[in-house]
Amino acid sequence: MVLIKSISGIRGTLENIPGQSLSDYDIKQFTLAYIQEIIRKQPSNVILVGRDARESGERISNIIKEVVSNEGLDVIDLGLVTTPTIGIGVKKLNAAGGIMISASHNDERWNALKLLNSDGEFLHPKDVQLVIKEETREASQGQNVGNISSYEKALDDHINIVLSQDFIDIDSIKAKSFSVAVDGINSVGGIAVPRFLERIGINKIHKINCEPDGKFNHNPEPLPENITHICSEIKKGNFDFGVVVDPDADRLCLVDENGIPFGEEYTLVAAAEYVLSHNKGSSSCSNLSSSLALKKITEGYGGKYYSSAVGEINVVEKMKQNNCLVGGEGNGGVIYPQTHYGRDSLIGLALIISLLDEKNISLSQLKKQLPEYHIFKQKMSYSGKLSKVISVFKSLYPKDQIDTTDGIKINLIDSWVHIRKSNTEPVIRVISEAQSLNYAKKISKEIISKLHLI
């Protein structure tokens, strides 16, 4: 039984125990809080609701729609959509906000409410605090019942915005005759990714786990150890690359033509390579747990690199402050503000396919052209206070190597290690990076051994 309230939304397991899981009661309470603290301040009285393909999604959607309607607000149900699709839809349909029902990379035992503002972006941390504060919410009395309707063109609107970018050369991409394998993890990516690929001129598509029935055929976090099936399929077949997404398709991971994972960290790096090579001197941003490769590329093109606390909205805020042209997170999340201030697998695909098309090289060849770094990720249960962890490590390393923006990050020579509490799981994450995987593992092992002593 878990209920986590953070800048990533309200996320929990589904035992239906109030206060200890994402229960019906908690869904109603947080929906009311969102309406009272965020939506009532907007001129529009429309809220969008969308979901990934989890079996629990439709039930949760019905609860939310009933609460919103009973509050006298109108609901537009987008049905099965990606998280960036609902973000783009909020602006397209002039809504006051949106609720995306998805627990992202968590498995079927979980679901979550991702709350968006009137710009179609995740709530600012201060607004999140208003929604999640400990307070019993009462439903309004005497309200007229709002209208509940559906809108089926949201994904097409999303794809059209991506295709409106002038860097995409559909004729050239079509001429390449790319052959692509797609793992949609039996969720909305199984609809969105193939449809997008077809729209940019790619018709050789081998679909794996693309039936959106919510029955995830593997761990839904698109890490190398979880995507062995598509890797095997590519090794047996004749594909230019493979595409893997998480259940709400805001994270993009790729597999090269040899069936080898490209690395989720390098999704953003490759997308940024295309953007920055065409816009020299522009700035970029990623979170503190993302690869140094983005910094190297940005500075190589004469731009400035910025880092933020982990969490999409934190990256977005830092990007806005510094007018960054591209950014994201090292979990496969690409943010390209020309389309939307949010992680989006489709714009990530558009940028990387355009890069492959322009350079006329394979994905494995592209990887060799990018700065080489290796990230090693671990997590461990920890019931103590993070402040104690920070205090201990601050005493062990020089002040100029320490960054406490989010947990504690220790910056070393061409390497680093970041220790922080997860926004999405009840764990501490330890992430390290170096120019060799063995050294990244060595750094992480040293940190983990120290953590066990605290």
Boundary (domain end) residue, out of 118, 152, 186: 152
> Which pTM does this prediction carry?
0.94
CA 427 to chain centre: 19
Angle between helices 386-394 and 437-451 (to 10 degrees): 110
Q: Do 43 and 165 have their domain in common? A: no
Q: Do 364 and 399 have their domain in common? A: no
Nearest-angstrom CA–CA distance, 363 and 97: 38
Question: Which pLDDT score is estimated for 140?
Answer: 92
- Provide the 10 A C-beta neighbour count for residue 14: 19
* CA 137 to each of CA 26, 34, 36, 37, 432: distance values in angstroms, whole numbers, following the listed order: 10, 10, 9, 11, 42
Q: Do 339 and 325 have their domain in common? A: yes
Q: Do 127 and 273 have their domain in common? A: no
Question: Which pLDDT score is estimated for 379?
Answer: 87
CATH number at residue 83: 3.40.120.10
Question: Which pLDDT score is estimated for 453?
Answer: 81
Residue 301: what are its φ and ψ, rounded to 5°? Answer: -95, 15
Q: Do 62 and 23 have their domain in common? A: yes
Q: Do 253 and 288 have their domain in common? A: yes
Boundary (domain end) residue, out of 152, 187, 214: 152
Do the beta carbons of residue 363 and residue 103 sit within 8 Å? no
- The residue written with tokens 């170096």 in the block is 434
Q: Locate all alpha helices (DSSP H) within 177-248, ordered by sequence.
A: 189-199, 228-236
DSSP of 33-98, one letter per residue?
A: HHHHHTGGGSS--EEEEEE-S-TTHHHHHHHHHHHHHHTT-EEEEEEE--HHHHHHHHHHTT-SEE
Q: What is the CA radius of gyration of the chain?
A: 21
Q: Do 427 and 382 have their domain in common? A: yes
Q: Do 312 and 424 have their domain in common? A: no
**Span between the terminal Cα atoms of the chain, in Å:** 26
Q: Half-sphere exposure of 173 toward its Cβ, with a 13 Å CA cutoff?
A: 24
Nearest-angstrom CA–CA distance, 359 and 117: 39
Cβ burial of 79 (10 Å; 0-12, 13-18, 19+) is middle
Boundary (domain end) residue, out of 94, 119, 152: 152
Question: Which pLDDT score is estimated for 201?
Answer: 96
- The total domain count for the chain is 3
Per-residue pLDDT of the chain (454 residues; tens, 9 = 90+): 899 998 889 999 999 999 999 999 999 999 999 999 999 999 999 999 999 999 999 999 999 999 999 999 999 999 999 999 999 999 999 999 999 999 999 999 999 999 999 999 999 999 999 999 999 999 998 778 999 999 999 999 999 999 999 999 999 999 999 999 999 999 999 999 999 999 999 999 999 999 999 999 999 999 899 999 999 999 999 999 999 999 999 999 999 999 999 999 999 999 999 999 999 999 999 999 999 999 999 999 999 999 999 999 999 999 999 999 999 999 999 999 999 999 999 999 999 999 999 999 999 999 999 999 999 989 888 777 888 889 999 999 998 899 999 999 999 999 999 999 887 777 889 999 999 999 999 999 999 998 888 7
Q: Do 303 and 381 have their domain in common? A: no
Nearest-angstrom CA–CA distance, 363 and 348: 14
Q: Do 295 and 332 have their domain in common? A: yes
Work out whether strand 402-403 and strand 110-116 pair parallel, antiparallel, or are unpaired.
unpaired
Q: Do 401 and 270 have their domain in common? A: no
Q: Do 358 and 230 have their domain in common? A: yes
Between vectors from CA 194 to CA 190 and to CA 198, what angle results, nearest 5°? Answer: 165
Cβ burial of 27 (10 Å; 0-12, 13-18, 19+) is buried
- The residue written with tokens 């490759």 in the block is 270
CATH number at residue 429: 3.30.310.50
Domain extent, residue 389, equals 374-451
Question: Is residue 356 within a helix (H) or strand (E), and if so which, with residue range?
Answer: helix 345-359
Question: Which pLDDT score is estimated for 423?
Answer: 75
